[in-house]
Structure 1
Amino acid sequence: MSMCSSCSSGPSSTKAWIVHGIVAGTAIAAAIGGGAYLVRYRKFRSRVVGIIPARYASSRFEGKPLVNILGKPMIQRTWERAKLATTLDHIGTERCHEALHKLDKTYDVVVNIQGDEPLIEPEIIDGIVRSLQAAPDAVFSTAVTSLKPEDAFDPNRVKCVVDNQGYAIYFSRGLIPYNKLGKVNPQFPYLLHLGIQSYDAKFLKIYPELQPTPLQLEEDLEQLKVLENGYKMKVIKVDHEAHGVDVPEDVEKIENLMREQNLS
């Protein structure tokens, strides 16, 4: 079963995709490391920290991390949601690489949690962490969801294609795959990349030293620098509708959603 074939909607579907990704990764790990790896599974990449990048000087929305959402700053809302994840040992704010140097403990996995996603689902955080823990040949993990047809040609909606083992093949701002008719195929399960991602901490120290790559520069996507340098990236599919805050008008939308979901 492919990691990114079509799926049904609902919370149980999200959990099913996450479990499938972990099982697939564990199978690969067994092939690489044998039974000894599986015995040590719980200890592999077990120390996990979540980092919430918070940039005040956003070009589209200055001061965005501190914007009030139903009585609390958005950065606090995101932090509170992230705290519900069961795989995180610690959560902080700042740039991932910089924050890693400032922490007084050593961590194996660093999760980059977007600060403008105050409704992030903790199950997604746990899912990408566990998929990375189960895939020792990967240095990076991320999540995708189904792409809406109206977003097919939106360059701000990053698309992704994966292989049959759930590893990323490519990311693009354009529609991928792109058929010869130049039209959206309503039967094809296109994938939308979600901003959340986790890294092996050792790789995160190497990443800033890697030179920019042609595909990365052309698409303006940092994930491509990882792939172009030959590193592997694990991908899980989840049933999730992204509700980010990009512009001031998004705040009211988020607050209305929170009221509908009875989230105080």
Structure 2
Amino acid sequence: MSVCSSSSSSSSSCSSTGKAWIVHSILAGTAIAVAIGARAYLGRARKFRTRVVGIIPARYASSRFEGKPLVHILGKPMIQRTWERSKLATTLDHLVVATDDEKIAECCRGFGADVIMTSESCQNGTERCNEALEKLEKKYDIVVNIQGDEPLIEPEIIDGIVKALQAAPDAVFSTAVTSLKPEDAFDPNRVKCVVDNRGYAIYFSRGLIPFNKSAKVNPQFPYMLHLGIQSYDSKFLQIYPKLQPTPLQLEEDLEQLKVLENGYKMKVIKVEHEAHGVDTPEDVEKIESLMRERNLS
């Protein structure tokens, strides 16, 4: 150990040495803090939104197609086909059906599904998912709203939107789009979507968007069709029902717009998928014909 003398030169040397040790200590302390912080951050990142539940909201009353979840598609109720496809997703820790109708609940229990009874007052599938989430015994980080009228939903799409939300901490919502067919361009039951360069939603509409001044479909433009499936951060899902209805949401009758109008971010992934949602009784025949062509039982 060196001892400081009373001489001026020794004093100067001691001062320099002391400053060096102070700087060294600060740098060492900073490096340790950064390392600890990095480990803590990475630990949180690995655990970020890890617990996932899939919820299939289903109601009997529907203005376009009453009793739709129970309609048979090649011998099985549509809700059962959606359930069976959803069970193949690898990111779901649990899967339930949320309904306000005892006939649907009885049907679902019959093929082995877990059922959560919800209120008839739910305004949409998102509110029904929130009520079901509150009634579940376990806590989850992500809730996937799986539309019961998509009997051919791809489990890879479920996994895709879950992973997209896990990878985007600034988003509270994620969903999927696919290419829009020209014949669906002006169908109000086929919801269209536009996104920004980073893959976040800008707008959803029942009309064709973007809409050019020729008022015709541009065959060169990659229009996107919104697929009904979506996932939410569970904390945001608890906030959603408390948000007041917004003008665009009410005009388009699209719940996604309330999210965007309130300034929240929504991540969108593009997938290759032929949308086969059942919106009307006529769609059932189309689905069955397609399944026969593809030899799907």
Query: Residue 93 of structure 1 aligns to a residue in which SS?
Result: strand
Which residue type is aligned with residue 108 of structure 1?
Answer: D
1:20 aligns with: none
Give the Cα separation in 2 of the matches to 1:254 and 1:183: 28
TM-score, normalised relative to structure 2: 0.74
1:236 aligns with: 269
Give the Cα separation in 2 of the matches to 1:134 and 1:107: 17
CA displacement at 1:230 relative to structure 2: 0.7
Give the Cα separation in 2 of the matches to 1:189 and 1:62: 34
- Paired residues of 2:189 and 2:279 also in contact (CA < 8 A): no
CA displacement at 1:251 relative to structure 2: 2.2
1:190-221: CA deviation from partner (whole Å, max 9, x where unpaired)? 11111110000000000000011111122211
> Is 243-252 or 189-198 further displaced after alignment?
243-252
User: Out of 142, 161, 185, which is 2:218 matched to?
Assistant: 185
Give the Cα separation in 2 of the matches to 1:183 and 1:219: 21
TM-score, normalised relative to structure 1: 0.83
Query: Residue 212 of structure 1 aligns to a residue in which SS?
Result: coil
Q: How many residues align?
A: 232
1:68 aligns with: 72
Give the Cα separation in 2 of the matches to 1:118 and 1:167: 27
**CA 1:188/1:35 → structure 2, altered by over 3 Å: closer, same or farther?**
farther
User: Out of 152, 160, 163, which is 1:130 matched to?
Assistant: 163
CA displacement at 1:37 relative to structure 2: 4.4
**CA 1:37/1:159 → structure 2, altered by over 3 Å: closer, same or farther?**
farther
Pairing of 1:249-264 with structure 2 (within 5 A): 249-264=282-297
Larger RCO: 1 or 2 (CA < 8 Å, sep 6+): 1
Give the Cα separation in 2 of the matches to 1:174 and 1:193: 12
CA displacement at 1:258 relative to structure 2: 2.2
1:7 aligns with: none
1:168 aligns with: 201
Which residue type is aligned with residue 222 of structure 1?
Answer: E
1:91 aligns with: 95
Identity %: 87
For structure 1, the residue ranges without an aligned partner over 5 or more in a row are 1-32
User: Out of 92, 97, 100, which is 2:133 matched to?
Assistant: 100
Query: Residue 138 of structure 1 aligns to a residue in which SS?
Result: coil
Give the Cα separation in 2 of the matches to 1:84 and 1:122: 6
Q: Is 1:48 matched up with 2:52?
A: yes
For structure 2, the residue ranges without an aligned partner over 5 or more in a row are 1-36, 99-127
